Structure 1
Amino acid sequence: MSHARPLTRAILALGSNLGERAGTLQSAVGDLVDRPEMRLHNVSPIVTTKAVGGPGGQPDFLNMVIAVDTTLGPYELLAHCQAVELAHHRTREVRWGARTLDVDIILYGDQTSDDPVLTLPHPRAAGRAFVLYPWSLMDPGATLVGQLVAQLAADAPDMAGIAHVLNAPMEQGS
């Protein structure tokens, strides 16, 4: 008899700057949690942001963060996120290039990893307002690397590029 893994809280960041961005994010959230190992815990509002890094002249991104509870291991979760990206026609031709969907694992419980395939916490998240700001709206008390996410967002160099906030694409879970 196998024992089920306990639920682990993971923070996922979603972004889109190609195609029907809001619809893609809404559909991707549904796809991410549409399996028995995944439960949606909370959803941030959507923010409009300028592209950070990568080629110039990219369209603006819509970005959001979700909290999920999962029995998937971290690498299984990564594979699931990449499968959802692929289902939304994500291509990986240019690093940090324009994309229909990007899903990053920001935190997986309190695990840390230096594996280049899956570094936890996400190695650049603490300096990216496009992740931090929607996360702070979803969970004002959240912390990352021992610091309040809201303060990290305020200090992030791309905070000035956040244009406005849209409503969350779906009701929050419990």
Structure 2
Amino acid sequence: MKRVFVALGANLNDPEAQIRAARQALAALAVPASLCHSPLYLSRPMGPADQPAYVNGVSAFDTRLSPHALLDALQAIELAQGRERKDERWGPRTLDLDILLYGDQQIEDERLTIPHYGMKQREFVLYPLADLAPELVLPCGTPLARLLRDCPQNGMTRLPAQ
């Protein structure tokens, strides 16, 4: 069993509803009573500026799934919620689920990079992650608190609790 952190993001088709539905779907992957969620944030898109703002958050849970089985399950959730995989990087999407951390493992293969390759620079990942695990130290030994000090919020705002 491993503790995992998954980033959630959406900017199409009622993004907050997409995130709520994804959170419910994550329960099927989690060991009972281990699932928790960060507050949600509204953030600027990373890619083309002519797309809606994103709703982002992080969920944490314990799982018995292997890293690749977890990836497959997350991609199935994305597809069930209307995700279309396109060649365009950082474009608009109904749902994006990314494995940030899988225990303290470091994985790099053709399908999966853990820790997530961009998590150290992305405010929409770091701040919700800190809401769940403020004392977290990444597998490379970097404290999350140090990353937060160097990462501006870039206009990101916390959404009211629902």
**Fold match by TM threshold 0.5:** yes
* Partner Cα distance (1:165, 1:149) in 2: 22
Indicate yes or no: 2:90 matched with 1:85.
Answer: no
* Partner Cα distance (1:161, 1:134) in 2: 14
In the alignment, what sits opposite 1:12? 6
The structural deviation recorded for 1:28 is 0.5
1:66 to 40, 51, 59: 59
1:32 and 1:38 in contact (8 A); partners too: no
1:76-126 CA distance string (max 9 Å, x none):
000000000001100122211100100000001111112131011111101
Secondary structure of the structure 1 residue equivalent to 2:13? coil
* Partner Cα distance (1:102, 1:147) in 2: 25
2:147 to 144, 152, 160: 152
Secondary structure of the structure 1 residue equivalent to 2:25? helix
Secondary structure of the structure 2 residue equivalent to 1:51? coil
Structure number with the higher strand fraction is: 1
The structural deviation recorded for 1:38 is 4.2
The structural deviation recorded for 1:62 is 0.5
Distance 1:83 1:162, change over 3 A: same
Query: Partner letter of residue 65 of structure 2?
Result: L
1:45 and 1:138 in contact (8 A); partners too: no
Instruction: Give the % identical residues.
Output: 40
* Partner Cα distance (2:143, 2:160) in 1: 23
2:119 to 117, 125, 130: 125
What are the within-5 Å matches in structure 2 for residues 1-174 of structure 1? 7-35=1-29, 38-39=31-32, 40-52=34-46, 54-93=47-86, 94-144=88-138, 145-156=140-151, 159-167=153-161
* Partner Cα distance (1:130, 1:150) in 2: 15
Query: Partner letter of residue 31 of structure 1?
Result: A
Unpaired runs of 5+ residues, structure 1, are: 1-6, 170-174
Distance 1:150 1:59, change over 3 A: farther
* Partner Cα distance (2:101, 2:117) in 1: 10
In the alignment, what sits opposite 1:4? none
Give the count of matched residue pairs: 159
1:10-36 CA distance string (max 9 Å, x none):
10000001111111111101112225x
